[in-house]
Amino acid sequence: MLLRAAGQRRAFASISNSNITQPFAVFDRNVKRIQRDRAASKNGGEDSRTVDYLRNEVADRMIERLLDIKRTYNSILDVGSGPGHFSRLIESKLTKKVVMLDMSEKTLRRDDDSEFEGKWLIPVERIHADEENLLQAIAPGSQEAVVSCLSLHWVNDLPGVLVQIREVLRTDGVFLGALLGGDTLFELRTALQLAELEREGGISPHISPMTDTRDVSNLLGRAGFSLLTVDIEDVTVAYPSMFELLQDLGDMGEGNAVIGSRHLLHRDTLMAASAAYQALHGNEDGTIPATFQVIFLVMRSLSLYE
């Protein structure tokens, strides 16, 4: 058992060779890219498709908000598109084409083959680029609309990326986003903390810090957007147990990528966390709930001369 644990630790430590030099580095982007590439190609993409339920649900709720804006576009840029959970819902009466941009090439092209190409309602262009360096891939002032559905929670410098999104937008462009808020996975977070305190006498971060809902309007104001609407919705999913939740998060490519985190969860702690999850949050029918707090934003880019 001990040997096995040591081996695992080594394997995890070797997957990233990136040098972290930027100012606000919380996440290891290289680890995240590798996780998402692996998740999207596992089992020919099948495992990844089974866990599309969360992103599909959020994309469904987000498309309603796009339809509420009574405008049509020549092109829509989908930042952090993944395989296109949101993009594939966009109809031709809304835009002539959609441009998908993602840091993980495997995720971006997961549903690329002919079998899935038929499901697209409009022409699609794919750009493999890191959303943290959006301006390197997209020309300033070139976009009428930018959307982002559940990708910005892995970005290190969120204010910087929001500024870049504003930069690529034309005057009076639209930004529609769905971000994961700070209460996301609070059940898992508290269960792990309780278990680690009781078993090991200390805690370590296993779940990313996420945007506090109170900070969102400030963030966007600072980036030069005028606020149209912000609203928050919880998506709660019931799982048979904590293990299915962890499995699905992994298959979504949403594993832990916090720099310097202890990647290994001891088996004792895992057992304890499962019991704590059930005791703290368990539903009456024996399942456990997991909450995903989604912040929806609809923004307009201000003119530079306004």
Query: Residues interacting with another protein, by CB under 8 A?
Result: 194-195, 197-201, 240-243, 267-268, 270-272, 274-276, 278-280
Structure letter (DSSP) for residue 138: S
- In the complex, the smallest distance separating the C-beta of residue 43 from another protein, rounded to whole angstroms, is 14
What's the min distance (Å) between Cβ of 202 and another protein? 8
- Rg (the chain; Cα; Å): 20
Query: Strands 288-301, 225-239: parallel, antiparallel or unpaired by DSSP?
Result: antiparallel
- DSSP 3-state of 116: helix
Q: Closest separation between CB of residue 194 and another protein, Å?
A: 6
Which C-beta is closer to another protein: that of 175 or that of 277?
Answer: 277
Q: Which is nearer to another protein, 123 or 240 (CB)?
A: 240
| All residues at 6 or more sequence positions from 84 whose CB lies less than 8 Å from its CB, including other chains | 78, 100, 111, 120, 124
CB 280, min distance to another protein, A? 7
- Residue closer to another protein, measured from CB, 213 or 247: 247
Task: State the minimum distance, in angstroms, from the CB of residue 95 to another protein.
Answer: 44
Question: CB within 8 A of 171, min separation 6: which ones?
Answer: 141, 301, 302, 303, 304
Q: Which is nearer to another protein, 15 or 279 (CB)?
A: 279
Gap between the Cα atoms of 131 and 213, Å rounded: 22
Choose between 107 and 274: whose C-beta lies nearer to another protein: 274
